[in-house]
A and B are shown apart, each in its own frame.
Chain A
Amino acid sequence: MTIKTIEAILPGVIYLSSSPDAPPFKNAGDKVAAGETVALVEVMKSFLPVEADAEGTFLGYSVESGSNVEPGEAVCRIESTQ
């Protein structure tokens, strides 16, 4: 069991749900598959997915939806089963 931090690759505005009215992509305790979208970054009018790079259990977001992120900034944490 290791705790993994998923980071933003591009700078921009981060969104934790697919639309303003939708529930968050993940809640604490949810299972996460490798490659699954956990957030979106709006960069230059494009919405690019932030994907989990390992499977495991979702622990929580480290950023607020709608805030600015920089590359390398932690988006969320996952307890990896690998």
Chain B
Amino acid sequence: MSAPIRKLLVANRGEIAVRIIRAAKELGIATVQVVSEADRDMLAARMADETIEIGPAAAAKSYLNVDNVLDALRRSGADALHPGYGFLSENAGFARAVTDMGRIFVGPDADTIERMGDKVNARRAAIAAGVPVVPGSQGRLDDAGDALKLAGEMGYPVMVKAAAGGGGRGIRVVRSAGELAAAVPQAIAEARASFGDGGLYMEAFIENARHIEVQVLGDGKSVVHLFERECSLQRRRQKVWEEAPAAALPPEMREALCASAVRLASAVGYRGAGTMEYLYDPARKAFYFIEMNTRIQVEHPVTEMITGLDLVREMLTIAGGAALSMTQDDIRCDGHAIEVRINAEDPARNFLPSPGPVDRFEVPHGDGIRFDTGFDAGSRVPPYYDSLVGKLIVRGASRAEAIARLAAALKETEIGPIATTLALHRALAEVPDVLSGEVSTQWLETWLAESPPGL
């Protein structure tokens, strides 16, 4: 598997398929696009050299159907497959089947996907590599003395919950030793009453947590990082607005954070593009590894905008057997980039999905502006897949410049007649908390609840 890729099957759809085809064309790689019945005319299908239909509209019967995608790979004569994000991109069994056919899976090997895609295994690998994870009790706690000692080590606030409980039941947030001493006997009694087991679990409670993630790239021998992104603006755990770098991170923490991601990726001999996700606790000034994504991510363009590197191109050359084209010293973080996800959802109607025609499709242009999409004027956004219509990405010399550029570019953008989240982004670009960066993963939902329905 050390020959450069000649023909690539794109096993995804929408904007990421377009993104992959562009990178492949630049490398002189022929492209075959898989399509469902609903996607025959999508932009990526028109750009690819060939298309292969893999089933009905429903994703379960097409893009998620392992047998159909493997059959397309066999028939296409492609020597490699790029899975994009979502769908089968983190399915270890699928990756293994591709390799077993003698083709290249553009991504890490199946064993790595299995190991790092599992939260418990990934947490174990992180601890072994000396990467901090959210501090918590090793086993169960049965008395107040042990709890007080541990809480003293990790600092307040802490969260106490029944070891046997699931979900959010029986969770207490405790802010001092006095409160904890009182809470533990109560929590034990309640846990015994609710679950028949008085064992407790305790972990650090991270208030105003920020979502920060590190982009890594490995060739199986060496690993580099491409700095971090911040994606704290989320609704229902879906990222809405992403930035690079993370403005809230002190410089010395940035270095430690990125070094930890490289350490973890190196420990597993990582090959391809990957992202280590962390929670950042502004009060403790500490970061904690939560999980790894073993694929390209939706928000990868903000990293490309500040580093000038092409992540998808690197993925393709590494998969073709090449070593990393750069060393850590070659990678610079220059300026500030922001991406907003423009979704076919109506913010005035509680984000009701809004599939349908995009007869009007005006996207902004100019220095420091990029628009990634799988649609163009006259396209239809089908109801069968996610609601992403396009990603507006801007870069400025500073964060303030990037936000000003974003606000101006959003005013130039018009998509219709379907409803989109453009109005949400136009509003966000003027909110004082967003301008000052005073946000957390809870901020957007709180703000939405307090905002007028039309924004």
Contact = CB atoms under 8 A, between A and B. Distances in A.
A45 B59 CA distance: 10
Chain A interface SS verdict (over half)? strand
B318 interface: no
A13 interface: yes
Interface in A6-22: 10-13
A82 interface: no
A28 B116 CA distance: 50
Interface in B385-400: 385-387
A15 to B, nearest CB: 11
A44 interface: yes
A46 B353 contact: yes
Contacts of A13: 57-58, 383-384
Nearest to B343: A44
B386 A45 contact: yes
Contacts of B355: 10-12, 43-44
Nearest to A11: B383
B344 interface: yes
A46 B346 CA distance: 13
A44 B344 CA distance: 9
Interface in A45-70: 45-46, 48, 66, 68
A50 to B, nearest CB: 14
Nearest to A41: B383
B38 to A, nearest CB: 8
A63 to B, nearest CB: 14
B353 A44 contact: yes
B152 to A, nearest CB: 44
A73 to B, nearest CB: 12
A10 B384 contact: no
B418 to A, nearest CB: 11
B58 A44 contact: no
A10 B386 CA distance: 15
A5 B258 CA distance: 59
Interface string B118-161: 00000000000000000000000000000000000000000000
Interface string B39-63: 0000000000000000001100000
A44 B57 contact: no
Contacts of B387: 44-45
Given A10-B383, A11-B383, A12-B383, A43 B58 contact: no
Contacts of A44: 344-345, 353, 355, 383-387
Contacts of B356: 11
Contacts of B57: 13, 68
Interface string B57-99: 1100000000000000000000000000000000000000000
A68 B355 CA distance: 14
Interface in B345-388: 345, 352-353, 355-356, 383-387
A53 B287 CA distance: 51
B419 to A, nearest CB: 12
A13 B57 CA distance: 9
A45 B344 CA distance: 12
A51 to B, nearest CB: 14
A45 B86 CA distance: 12
B353 A48 contact: yes
A44 B355 CA distance: 8
Interface string B320-357: 00000000000000000000000011000000110110
A35 B385 CA distance: 27
A43 B345 CA distance: 11
A29 B7 CA distance: 58
A55 B344 CA distance: 33
A82 to B, nearest CB: 28
Contacts of B353: 10, 12, 43-44, 46, 48
A10 B349 CA distance: 14
A68 B356 CA distance: 14
A52 B345 CA distance: 24
Contacts of A66: 58
A68 B37 CA distance: 12
Contacts of B345: 44
B12 to A, nearest CB: 15
Contacts of A48: 352-353
A48 B356 CA distance: 17
The 4 closest A-B pairs by CB, nearest first: A44-B353, A12-B383, A44-B387, A11-B383
13 contacts: A10-B353, A10-B383, A12-B355, A12-B383, A13-B57, A13-B58, A43-B353, A44-B344, A44-B383, A44-B385, A45-B387, A46-B353, A68-B57
Given A12-B383, A12-B384, A43-B355, 16 more contacts: A10-B352, A10-B353, A10-B355, A10-B383, A11-B383, A13-B57, A13-B58, A13-B384, A43-B353, A44-B355, A44-B383, A44-B386, A44-B387, A46-B353, A48-B352, A66-B58
Interface of A: 10-13, 43-46, 48, 66, 68
